């Protein structure tokens, strides 16, 4: 079975830098080759800026984590209009980037703006919280 591509939103990168068992398990799944992790430069910049402002002690942890996450620029234009119909325009770039990367999953902690997409299977991408993705993977085994 090929590994699935998992896109991390900025808030997940931020939280992963702070640590915790869910993030450690996601990084371990990547290390084992079960999933591949990706994020956009935009999400990385947002996460880094928030860490510098709120938790400068965790910036080094983010840099370490980045060795396991592909960071790139995806051509979001083809998905931006679609995404703007589903989420607020400020969040549309995240959803569009995840689709442009052809990710299987978008992992976000933003249940306010992305909550209505969680559980939907008609989007071409599945939207999860870190915990819900892990529970789904466990249930499928």
Q: What is the pLDDT along the chain (141 residues), one digit of tens a residue?
A: 468 999 999 999 999 999 999 999 999 999 999 999 999 999 999 999 999 999 999 999 999 999 999 999 889 999 999 999 999 988 999 999 999 999 999 999 999 999 999 999 999 999 999 999 999 876 765
Q: How large is the C-alpha radius of gyration of the chain? A: 14
Rounded CA gap, 89 and 80, in Å? 9
The pTM of this model reads 0.94
What pLDDT is attached to residue 141? 56
List, in order of start, the domains of the chain with CATH numbers. 4-140 (3.40.50.1010)
What pLDDT is attached to residue 136? 87
Q: Is the dihedral of CA 44, 125, 108, 112 positive or negative?
A: positive
Alpha-helix runs per DSSP H in 19-129: 21-31, 41-54, 59-65, 77-84, 89-100, 111-114
């Amino acid at each position: 079975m090929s590994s699935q591509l998992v896109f991390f939103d900025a808030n997940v990168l931020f939280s992963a830098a702070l640590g915790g068992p869910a993030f450690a398990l996601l990084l371990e799944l990547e290390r084992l080759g079960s999933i591949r992790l990706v994020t956009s430069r935009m999400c990385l910049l947002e996460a880094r800026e928030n860490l510098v402002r709120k938790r400068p002690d965790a910036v080094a942890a983010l840099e370490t984590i980045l060795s396991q996450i592909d960071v790139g620029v995806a051509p979001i234009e083809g998905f931006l209009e679609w995404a703007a119909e589903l989420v607020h325009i400020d969040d549309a770039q995240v959803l569009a980037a995840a689709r442009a990367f052809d990710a299987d999953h978008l992992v976000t902690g933003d249940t306010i703006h992305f909550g209505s997409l969680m559980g939907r299977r008609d989007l071409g991408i599945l939207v999860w919280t870190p915990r819900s993705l892990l529970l789904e993977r466990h249930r499928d085994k």
